[in-house]
Amino acid sequence: MTDHSGSHLTRISAPQGVSPGAHYSHVVLGTGRFVAVSGQCALDENGAVVGEGDARAQARQVFENLRRCLAAAGAGFDDVVKLTYFVTDVAHLPAVREAREAVIPADRLPASSAVQVSALFRPELLVEVEAFAVLAQ
């Protein structure tokens, strides 16, 4: 499936000969200005952990932090072409998907990668997500 909705981005969920992605697009391409957002964790504006021990609460905070970072660059979730998820347990991925689905519609899914890591930079953190976006010129 290819999205040609007049956007500056094209999403290809199933390139020929590749099994469709269940919760992501295999390819996203676009023209414009590139924006990279560092991995965001469940920290509030004061650096305190939000939702200690709660993957859903942490994932919601992570996506709120991503929203704020994207907005600082003049971007939004519609401009995201790639998300990389770092989780301390793959069992946290449903919570991450739930938080993502609250801000990114199913027809706008970015390319994605998920990696289980042994730890994040603070032991109480469960999820980190980085984003790449492309803004229309």
DSSP-derived letter for residue 59 is H
Low pLDDT (below 50) residues in the chain = 1, 3-6
Backbone angles phi, psi at 14, to 5 degrees: -145, 85
The pLDDT value given to residue 21: 81
Q: Which class for 43: exposed (0-12), middle (13-18), buried (19 or more C-beta within 10 A)?
A: middle
30-48: pLDDT as tens digits = 899 999 999 999 999 999 9
The pLDDT value given to residue 132: 97
The pLDDT value given to residue 23: 85
Going along the chain from its start, the domains and CATH numbers come out as 9-135 (3.30.1330.40)
